[in-house]
Amino acid sequence: MSEEAKERVIEWVKQQKKTKHYFNDLCKALPEIKMMQAKKIINELINEGKLKYWSSGSTTMYMLPSEGDVAKEEKGMN
Amino acid sequence: MTAKHATPMLDELEKGPWPSFVTDVKRMAQKKEMCQDWLGLMEMSFRDKEGHWKHGGIVGVLGYGGGVIGRYCDRPDMFPKVAHFHTVRVNQPASKFYNTEVLRKLCDLWEARGSGLTNMHGSTGDIVLLGTTTDQLEPLFYELTHEMEMDLGGSGSNMRTPEACLGKSRCEWSCIDTQDIIYDITQEYQDALHRPMFPYKFKFKSSGCPCDCVAAIARSDCSIIGTWRDDVRIDQAAVRAYVGGEFVPHAGAQDAKREAFDIKAEVIDLCPTKCMEWDGKSLKIWDEDCTRCMHCIRVMPRALRPGLDTGATILVGAKAPILEGAQLSSVVIPFLKMEPPYTEFKGFVEKMWDLWMEEGKNRERLGEMIQRIGLREFLKACELTPDPRMVNTPRYNPYIFYDPAGVPGGWEHDGKAFRERHQA
């Protein structure tokens, strides 16, 4: 999988003010790639620990690991 | 264990004639302090008329993007045992067939790893395990998958746990093997089930016949509903036996009695397309006008049966009323044989998903997207041919929207040339 594409996604996320992003929004970093293909790239980023899931139960969003901390979340700080 | 919190308002809910969830939770509270705090928190919510749960979070199990939903209490100082109270969705066996041994094991596992409270079943049919802490999630998942050979279900922007009616296992009307279809979809689309990629949730449900016992037409983004394309099978002698009171109509349901019944009032006049006729001796059905409503078959199950050339109708777009009201599914493939390995169906699904992923807005269900872009665009993207059966009342609607690309010569209007010809 293209390392360059993965880097573009991470860079895009770092530039945003919001901390949580929809899958569709992440794909803005990869405008030339079909969504099904983009999913594989984003999955790799999840597996490598460079992105993590946030889920409300009905919708799933993505965030940088530095933004999401289970310990903080459990203390009600996130 | 004595009650940790007084619950006078919750106690009221135990006084009615119905089974009470409060009684269930109190029973579990004898063993689990978590349930004591749950009762205290609920009592406070009832008293203050305010919720105290926060939902959502980053908790989950490694490699999965669904199946666990983070839940937190916003008063952990008062109710520390429910400070985190995560929900776990477990993929139910097809048609919810399991034996008591499996249920006992699951309950033992959940009492050891969670609150012991369950919800049988969620709206996608999942076995819902209510309330555990983050540290228990991975051990629970390991035991669930390795010792019980069960898996987590879907949540978030995933394909949700597919659901089926009892199908051919228990029902003589089932036109398709719903259990096999749902098992096959579950296995084929594991990645979509566990790793989110869609704009929002996506649900498959399959019912074996148009009675639609899992309410696929109302609750699923893609409904697979069994049907037939030949004629309703009629046993004329059995029809006469119903009319003569030898057989109990409705198979005895709704307090039906063994007595002569008025076939005209009970069946013929209730046919939505008026495609039936009874001359006192035999029943005639004009099958080309039958919409498979199943009413006549339900009333006289020993006399009428679905045809033998069976398959499924594929419908898309149902949803609950969060945005713009509830929607029922619309027909997009009037008839598909639905035989393993379901290649034609999967080809359609993948085209549909490609379109929804590319065109769908965040948190937009498939049905909402079709409403926004139009059925014509949807059919074009899925390479389906428009068919009158996709239209609710085709014979009453005079408006036909042609696609300019499909009309030879098109109809582009040259306004300038028109004005030159009509100058006054």
Q: What is the pLDDT of residues A21-74, one digit of tens each?
A: 999 999 999 999 999 899 999 999 999 999 999 999 999 999 999 886 666 666
> Distance between the two ends of chain B, CA-based, in angstroms?
96
Query: CB–CB of B72 and A73 under 8 A?
Result: yes
Q: What is the mean pLDDT of each run of 10 residues along chain B (424 residues)?
A: 90 94 96 96 96 89 93 94 96 94 96 96 95 96 96 96 97 97 97 94 98 97 98 97 94 81 95 96 96 96 98 96 88 97 98 96 95 93 92 74 80 88 88
Residues of A in contact with B70 (CB under 8 A): 55, 57, 73
- What's the pLDDT at B150? 96
The shortest C-alpha distance from A2 to chain B (Å) reads: 19
pLDDT of A71 reads 65
Residue A23 lies in a domain: yes
Q: Which of B268, B264, B312 shows the shortest CA–CA distance to B286?
A: B268
- Contact residues, chain A to chain B, C-beta under 8 Å: 22-25, 34-36, 39, 42-43, 46-47, 52-60, 63, 68, 70, 73-76, 78
Chain A residues closer than 8 Å to B66 by CB: 55, 60
Q: Report pLDDT digits (tens) over B349-371.
A: 999 999 999 999 999 999 999 99
Are the CB atoms for B128 and B89 separated by under 8 Å?
yes
With CB atoms and an 8 Å threshold, state whether A73 touches B55: no
Range of the domain at A10: 3-65
Query: Do the Cβ atoms of B164 and B209 come closer than 8 Å?
Result: no
HEC per residue, chain B? CCCCCCCHHHHHCCCCCCCCHHHHHHHHHCCCHHHHHHHHHHHHHHHHCCCCEEECECCCCCCCCCCEECEEECCCCCCHHHCECCEEEECCCHHHCCCHHHHHHHHHHHHHHCCCEEEECCCCCCEEEECCCHHHHHHHHHHHHHCCCCCECCCCCCECCCEECCHHHCCCCCCCCHHHHHHHHHHHCHHHHHCCCCCCCECEEEECCCCCCCCHHHHCCEEEEEEECCCCEECHHHHHHHHCCCCCHHHHHHHCCCCCCCHHHHCHHHCCCCCEEECCCCEEECHHHCCCCCHHHHHCCCCEECCCCEEEEEEECCECCCCCCCECCEEEEEEECCCCCCHHHHHHHHHHHHHHHHHCCCCCCHHHHHHHHCHHHHHHHCCCCCCHHHCCCCCCCCCCCCCHHHCCCCCCCCHHHHHHHCCC
CB spacing of B59 vs A57 below 8 angstroms:
no
Question: What are the Cα distances from residue B303, in Å, to B238, B267, B298, B300?
Answer: 5, 12, 10, 5
List CB contacts (< 8 A) between B138 and chain A.
none
Closest residue, chain B, to A22 (C-alpha)? B362
Cβ-Cβ contacts under 8 Å, A35 against chain B:
197, 354, 357-358
Residues of B in contact with A47 (CB under 8 A): 63
> Which member of B58, B200, B362 has the closest CB to residue A73?
B58
> Chain A: residue nearest B82 by CA?
A74
Residue B357's pLDDT is: 95
How far is A44 from A37, CA to CA, in rounded Å? 11
Q: How many domains does chain A have?
A: 1
Closest to B55 (Cβ–Cβ): which among A36, A39, A57?
Answer: A57
Does residue A71 lie in a domain region? no
Note the pLDDT of residue A72: 66
Closest residue in A to B61 (Cα–Cα):
A53
- Tell me how close the Cα of A68 comes to any Cα of chain B, in angstroms: 7
Q: How many other C-beta atoms lie within 10 A of the C-beta of residue B375?
A: 18
Distance of residue B193 Cα from the nearest chain A Cα, in angstroms? 13
**A54 DSSP β-pair partners:** A61
| Chain A contact set for B59 (CB, 8 A) | 70, 73
Residue B156: which of A57, A73, A78 has the nearest Cβ?
A57
Give the model's pLDDT for residue A78: 45
Cβ contacts of A42 on chain B, cutoff 8 Å: 197
Any domain includes A78: no
Beta B310-316 vs B330-336: how paired, if at all? Answer: antiparallel
Asked whether residue A75 is assigned to any structural domain, the reply reads no
Q: Which of B242, B243, B238, B203 is nearest to B223 (CA)?
A: B203
Residue B300 has what pLDDT? Answer: 97
Residue A44 DSSP SS3: helix
Identity at A73, one-letter amino acid code: E
Domain CATH for A18: 1.10.10.10
Domains of chain B, earliest start first = 8-146 (3.30.70.2500), 163-229+310-405 (3.30.413.10), 233-305 (3.30.70.20)
Q: Pick from A25, A52, A60: which is nearest to B196 by CB?
A: A60
- Angstrom distance (rounded) from CA B51 to CA B43: 10
Q: Kindly state whether residue A76 falls inside one of the protein's structural domains.
A: no
Cβ–Cβ below 8 Å for B200 and A58: yes
Q: Which tokens in the block code for residue A44? A: 């790799």
B199, amino acid identity: P
Shortest distance between the Cα of B304 and any Cα of chain A, in A, equals: 43
Residues of A within 8 A of B196 (CB-CB) are 23, 53, 55, 60
Q: Which H/E stretch holds residue A60?
A: strand A60-63
Q: Which positions in chain B touch A58 (Cβ < 8 Å)?
A: 155-156, 200-201
Do the chains contact at A36 and B357, CB–CB below 8 Å?
A: yes
Q: What is the model's pLDDT at position A70?
A: 66
Tell me the pairing of strands B71-73 and B117-120: unpaired
Residue of A nearest to B350 (CA): A36
- CA B205, CA B226: separation in Å to the nearest integer? 11
The answer, yes or no, to whether residue A76 has pLDDT greater than 70, is: no
pLDDT for position A77: 44
Q: Is residue A73 part of a domain?
A: no
Of A24, A59, A73, the CB nearest to B57: A73
Contact list, A59 vs chain B (CB under 8 Å): 156-157, 200-201, 362-363
Structural element, H or E, at residue A39: helix A35-47
Assigned domain for A70 exists: no
Q: Are the Cβ atoms of A35 and B197 closer than 8 angstroms?
A: yes
